[in-house]
Chain A
């Protein structure tokens, strides 16, 4: 038995001293393998008396179990250390830049149109559209702007070549022809907004030959100027996100509305910086009650139906809302501008989520 204890102590010491999994395995084979020392001792039990055998066998098993456990424990320890060592070697510089992520941006005009749709959509307006190249009737005559009317001169119209029949197409000078197309093709009640490209032969720091307008039209048998005020005040406040934004209506003239008004919103110009909200006034849109002649041009009974129309420049309201000082970069595609003023494609504007 003394031998057994010596063997156990020496093997235990060897196990504890094993420096890696391979050495440990060799020790295991030497101790517990088929020809291992403990296994050899087991084989000697056959020569003993039953009582001795039982006693020696029990002792031997205790040693065997203890050695196996010691080996397992040692193996776990060694494996853990090996992993630690490997991980330590695998260290990288995590401050290196990630693979470039390349999210693009939506143009501020798109975003602004989506905002317009979100607001007016809540009020029951749908979105109508029409062609950029228009005929004289839809762009002018139906809108109560007869040929040679002084109002026509204010439009700086782009013309296409005269056709064989003497007519000539124009690039629409406003989105209003879509009012006409809508009224010709549908019956009231009508409630639409019309965002789109518009064109005027004018080019300087504050005018672009192409720009965008949004038109609004409501036709039914009861809508009056109070509704017009309600709609536009609500719009201005929602769009600019200022609940108490001052809004005023001034008498004006548009050939296609009667009465006509221009709308100003409150602003401040302190220190040369224009800010929305305040006691000064800034013109922002034109509007009015649809002229009976316009209704008649579209085959709508002007004694039965009435309503309002409005129009505004989309670039202008976008510039005011987002602090873009210049008009020209809108169409210049300068990457720096697109990334700075553009919007991530994450969320379509909606009233419930906030604009």
Chain B
């Protein structure tokens, strides 16, 4: 919402400076976005007389001018074709900043003639693109008058942000009222002079709305004007409209815009000669169309309120008028529309049609219902003043719905909710200044809310009104009570796990990323498919329209981007959501990671090796381990989802439950996403890992039992079928003697020479930990035999010869 300082002062009697006004606006909830003080930028530019302009002796296109300025006579070399003796121009002395050229003027010498300062064009002052010549001011203009003053640009423009609740401040008067309440001056009285009608309006208002939807347009009023002359509006009006960024069009149109911005009362004027019959507020019929004032044609559905005559739609209720019945320079007969519309319906209509007009913006925030009454008078006065002619009697249809809301405010409530003691008298004063009708009661006060404040709807709202005007700065600062001296643990198990996983993976050299939750349909297709219910209706781009079914695609894309930048060695992870359906439980927390390129960067001493599934398996197991998954008991099955290499990937399972996946990424996926392989990845489902069982012993750990006998290690090599999972053999070996065998490690896998085709050798080291006595050779041999037997039973493996 823009307005000028002088416009504000039409409504506010104040001595306050621009800075004081700006500061107050921001503090009371009308945040200042920008103050454009055009006079300040134009300060060096002042009127000056060209005493003499003669041809430059050494340049055909230049003139040497003697210029009388407020500081005396100077010589200026000027290239403008219209520089001539006797003209009044705009002069900037040396040292001035010229916005149009972004330069500071310096005294100079142009082809042998001194030049001090400049006679300027509009473009050089940065106020328009006009550059055909230097500005010519009217003869008789005094010397040294600031150009800003001459051009009506000496009125600072204030731009404030209006929050959705403060429709009333979409008119300058509303802003002035707030400022007056805040102590910045006095609100000037506003009179609505009533104009007596001279004749009966030939056009009448009608309403044709369904019985249960009367409030779509509860009331409309208007008036007929004849004998008007619609020329350009006066200078003061044009200046104000231009200052706030509106283009003056004609007196009639400018009046409607002016009242809209001055009093927050949108109006419409029809060229009455183009209106056929009476005008009716009704619902549109499906398929009806209108050519609107913005030059576009809009098609209605049967829920939109329109203004129609016998020709059909002439206006979109609360949104925009029609072009065909609009006013032009030739208009002599005018019919005025001052209506009330249902805010929600205006919003829906505007949204469906894609029109954001000044009218819609105001109607959907709600207007002062009384404005339908005084709006007619205000508009009539301006039309008669600026366009002449005579006005008919007022015609209207519907019921004026002004029902005032009455709220109570308890005496202590400002203190208990707002935390500040404000004297009761001051509370009353503020509400009265905001034009609430206040009655003091035993408990506090009753306040009748002004009709333009439809946002004030409960006691807390009254507290807010009082406090914002009194100033939030005055609220004493109170620390939040602590119910206990020491803070409590505040994280859930899942939150703690995330932190553990994050740190564990970073320690392993992976960089944490945060990537978008939405991906392209194509990417989603590679990672389990794009569900219709998870596809955005209004994505910002077709590349970001599906909620990701996995956190890997964005990591793959990240690695590909880094690779393209010249950084092919990636180790990335993200802890975030993946989505399975659109319900509140359809989201799953995952820690996903990806490594691509060289395993750990190159080193002069390390032999090169390629990344493989075990890099990812190690990452996944580290993540699982730190969140308390029983890593030793997890089974690995070779059935990871389709985006992994089918022969080089696995799933971690605890019973039927999947804790995560790992493996090489499928070459098809890498190819589709332009990432050079190999790349390995993992996904760990943090919340799938079972919660630790609460123990009766609490945090007490079991006693530490240290054997005094040395452990014994025995190595075995087994020959098994090539497709035997190593895990099976390790489990069998470990299960051979649950008391004595504390650890089994696989230290070699071999196939090739010396091993039968279709077989492989797995070498393991078994650790025996006696607890009662040192083991004899016979005892050790007995356990070894059990290991061999168990392995043979489980895998068919035999000791390698």
A-side residues, CB < 8 A to B, are 96-97, 99-100, 102-107, 109-110, 114, 117, 120-127, 129-135, 147-151, 153-154, 158-161, 163, 168-169, 171, 189, 197, 199, 201-203, 209-210, 218, 222-231, 233-234, 248-253, 255, 258-262, 289, 291-293, 306, 330-336, 338-339, 342, 344-345, 348
- Closest Cβ of chain A: how far from B463's Cβ, in Å? 6
The answer to whether B490 touches A331 (Cβ under 8 A) is no
Q: Is the CB of B537 within 8 A of A161?
A: yes
Contact B344 A147 (CB under 8 A): yes
Residues 559-614 of B contacting A (Cβ, < 8 Å):
559, 561-562, 565, 567, 570-573, 575-577, 579, 582-587, 600-601, 603-606
CB-based contact B460/A227 at 8 Å: no
- Are A258's CB and B418's CB within 8 A? no
**Residue from B344, B463, B506 in contact with A345 in the complex, judged by beta carbons closer than 8 Å:** B506
Chain A residues within an 8 Å CB radius of B535: 160-161
Q: How would you classify the secondary structure of chain A's contact residues: helix, strand, loop or mixed? A: mixed
B480/A227 in contact, CB under 8 A: yes
Do B536 and A117 have beta carbons less than 8 Å apart?
no
Task: Report Cα–Cα, A197/B547, bound state, in Å.
Answer: 13
Please name 17 pairs of A and B residues whose Cβ atoms are closer than 8 Å in the assembled complex, sorted by A. A97-B603, A110-B502, A121-B490, A123-B480, A125-B490, A126-B488, A132-B517, A132-B587, A148-B343, A159-B537, A189-B483, A253-B165, A259-B463, A259-B472, A330-B514, A332-B561, A333-B562
* B480 and A224 contacting across the interface, CB-CB below 8 Å: no
Number of interface residues of B (CB under 8 A): 106
The distance from the CB of A305 to the nearest CB of chain B, in whole angstroms, is 12
* Cross-chain contact B495 with A127 (CB below 8 angstroms): yes
> When chains A and B are docked, how far (Å) is the Cα of A334 from the Cα of B31?
37
Q: Which of B21-29, B101-109, B723-731, B735-743 contacts A (4 or more CB under 8 A)?
A: B21-29
Q: Does the CB pair B570–A231 fall under 8 Å?
A: no
Complex contact A231–B606 (CB within 8 A): no
Is there an interface contact between A251 and B29, defined as CB atoms closer than 8 Å? yes
CB distance from B575 to the nearest CB of A (A): 8
On whether the beta carbons of B364 and A150 are closer than 8 Å, the reply is yes
Known: A133-B584, A330-B514. A106 touches B490 (CB 8 A): no
Instruction: Assess A169 versus B516: contact at CB under 8 Å? Given A209-B540, A348-B499.
Output: no
Distance of B510 from chain A, by nearest CB (Å): 4
CB of B502 within 8 A of CB of A158, answer no
**Chain A CB within 8 A of B515 CB:** yes
List which B187-246 residues lie within 8 A (CB) of chain A.
none
The 9 closest A-B pairs by CB, nearest first: A226-B419, A102-B509, A333-B558, A253-B163, A259-B464, A251-B29, A251-B468, A345-B506, A224-B419
A330 nearest CB neighbor, chain B only: B514
Residues on B with C-beta less than 8 A from A134 are 584
A117: chain B residues within 8 A (beta carbon)? 490-491
Q: How far is the CA of A59 from the CA of B417 in the complex (A)?
A: 112
Q: Residue-by-residue, is B21-65 near A (CB-CB < 8 Å gives 1, otherwise 0)?
A: 000001111010000000000000000000000000000000000
**Supplied contacts A131-B586, A153-B351, 6 more A-B pairs, CB within 8 Å:** A104-B505, A150-B364, A169-B582, A189-B483, A222-B481, A251-B467
**With contacts A107-B512, A335-B570, A338-B513 known, is A122 near B536, CB below 8 A?**
no
Residue numbers in A under 8 Å from B166 (CB-CB): 253
B370 interface contact, C-beta 8 A:
no
Chain B residue nearest in CB terms to A150: B164
Residues on A with beta carbons closer than 8 Å to the beta carbon of B586: 131, 133
**Contact of B603 (CB < 8 Å), options: A99, A189, A228, A344:** A99
* Contact A104/B509 with A130-B584, A160-B533, A253-B164 known, Cβ cut-off 8 Å: yes
Residues in B whose Cβ lies below 8 Å from that of A148: 343-344, 347-348, 364
Contact call B460/A102, Cβ cutoff below 8 A: no
State A331–B600 Cα separation when bound (angstroms).
Answer: 24
Which B residues between 343 and 361 are near A, CB-CB below 8 angstroms? Answer: 343-344, 347-348, 351
Please give, as numbers and ranges, the residues of chain A lying within 8 Å of B467 by CB-CB distance: 225, 251, 259
Question: With the chains together, A288 CA to B418 CA distance in Å?
Answer: 10
CA A123 – CA B513 in complex, angstroms? 30
Q: Is the CB of A229 within 8 A of B475?
A: yes
Q: How far is the CA of A255 from the CA of B460 in the complex (A)?
A: 12
**Contact present for B480 and A124 (CB under 8 Å):** yes
The answer on a CB contact under 8 Å between B514 and A158 is no
How distant is the Cα of A344 from the Cα of B506 in the complex, in angstroms? 8
> Inside 8 A of B584's CB, which chain A residues have their CB?
130-131, 133-135
B637 to chain A, nearest CB (A): 29
Enumerate chain B residues within 8 angstroms of A228, measured Cβ to Cβ.
419
Cα A70 to Cα B464 in complex, Å, equals 103
Name the CB-closest residue of B to A200: B540
The answer to whether A334 touches B561, judged by C-beta atoms less than 8 angstroms apart, is yes
**What per-residue 1/0 map shows which CB atoms of B472-509 lie under 8 Å from chain A?**
11011111111110011011100100010011111111
Are A253 and B603 in contact, CB atoms less than 8 angstroms apart? Answer: no
Residue of B at shortest CB range from A212? B514
A258 with B461: CB separation less than 8 A? yes
What chain A residues lie within 8 Å of B600 (beta carbons)? 100, 102
Complex Cα gap A130–B502 (Å): 20
**B416 located at the interface, meaning its Cβ lies under 8 Å from any Cβ of chain A in the complex:** yes
**Which B424-483 residues have a C-beta within 8 angstroms of A?**
458-461, 463-464, 467-468, 472-473, 475-483
Give A201 Cβ to nearest chain B Cβ, in Å. 6
A100, A121, A255, A335, most chain B CB atoms within 10 A: A335
B98 at the interface (CB under 8 A from A): no
Q: A201 near B538 (CB under 8 angstroms)?
A: yes
- Given known pairs A104-B506, A225-B419, A231-B480, the reply for A334 and B490 (CB within 8 Å) is no
Question: What are the residues of chain B within 8 A of A123 when measuring CB–CB?
Answer: 480, 482, 487
Which residues of chain A are near B478, meaning CB under 8 Å?
224, 226-227, 229-230
Q: Are A252 and B29 in contact (CB under 8 A)?
A: yes
- Chain A nearest CB from B514 CB (Å) reads 5
Within 8 Å of chain A (Cβ to Cβ): is B86? no
* Min CB–CB distance B596 → chain A (angstroms): 11
A250-B472, A348-B499 are contacts. A223–B480 as well, Cβ < 8 Å? yes
Whether the Cβ atoms of B567 and A253 lie closer than 8 Å is no
Give the shortest distance, in Å, between B748 (CB) and chain A (any CB).
24
Decide: B506 and A158 in contact? CB cutoff 8 A. no
Residues of chain B contacted by A230 (CB below 8 angstroms): 477-480
B691 CB to closest chain A CB, in angstroms? 17
A97 to B605, CA, bound (A): 9
Cβ contact within 8 Å between B506 and A336: no
CB-based nearest B residue for A106: B512
* B625 close to chain A: CB less than 8 A: no
Q: Which residues of A contact B472 (CB under 8 A)?
A: 225, 229, 248-251, 259, 261
Q: Which residue of B lies closest to A199 (CB)?
A: B517
Contact A107 B505, CB 8 Å, known A127-B491, A158-B539, A229-B478: no
For A226, the chain B residues whose CB sits under 8 A away are 418-420, 475-478
Does the CB pair B511–A124 fall under 8 Å? no
Across the interface, do B506 and A249 meet the contact criterion of CB distance under 8 Å? no
A124 pairs with B483, CB closer than 8 A: yes
Contact assessment for A333 and B561 in the assembled complex, using a CB-CB cutoff below 8 Å: yes
CB-CB < 8 A to B606: which residues of A? 99
Q: Is the CB of B418 within 8 A of A201?
A: no
Q: Is B125 an interface residue (CB 8 A)?
A: no
Interface flag for B688 (CB, 8 Å) = no
B417 and A104 form a contact (CB under 8 A):
no
Provide the bound-state CA to CA distance between A18 and B158, in Å.
104
Chain B nearest Cβ from A173, distance in angstroms: 13
Residues of B contacting A250 with CB < 8 Å? 26-27, 29, 31, 472
Residue of B whose beta carbon sits closest to that of A122: B487
Q: How far is the CA of A75 from the CA of B165 in the complex (A)?
A: 99
A224–B508 Cα distance when bound, in Å, is 47
B544 at the interface (CB under 8 A from A): yes
Are the C-beta atoms of B537 and A258 separated by less than 8 Å?
Answer: no
Inter-chain CA distance A97–B603, complex, in Å, is 8
Contacts of B541 in A (CB 8 A): 203
- Is B567 a contact of A335 with CB atoms below 8 Å? yes
B164 in contact with A252 (CB, 8 Å): no
- A229 to B, closest residue via Cβ: B477
Residues of A within 8 A of B26 (CB): 250
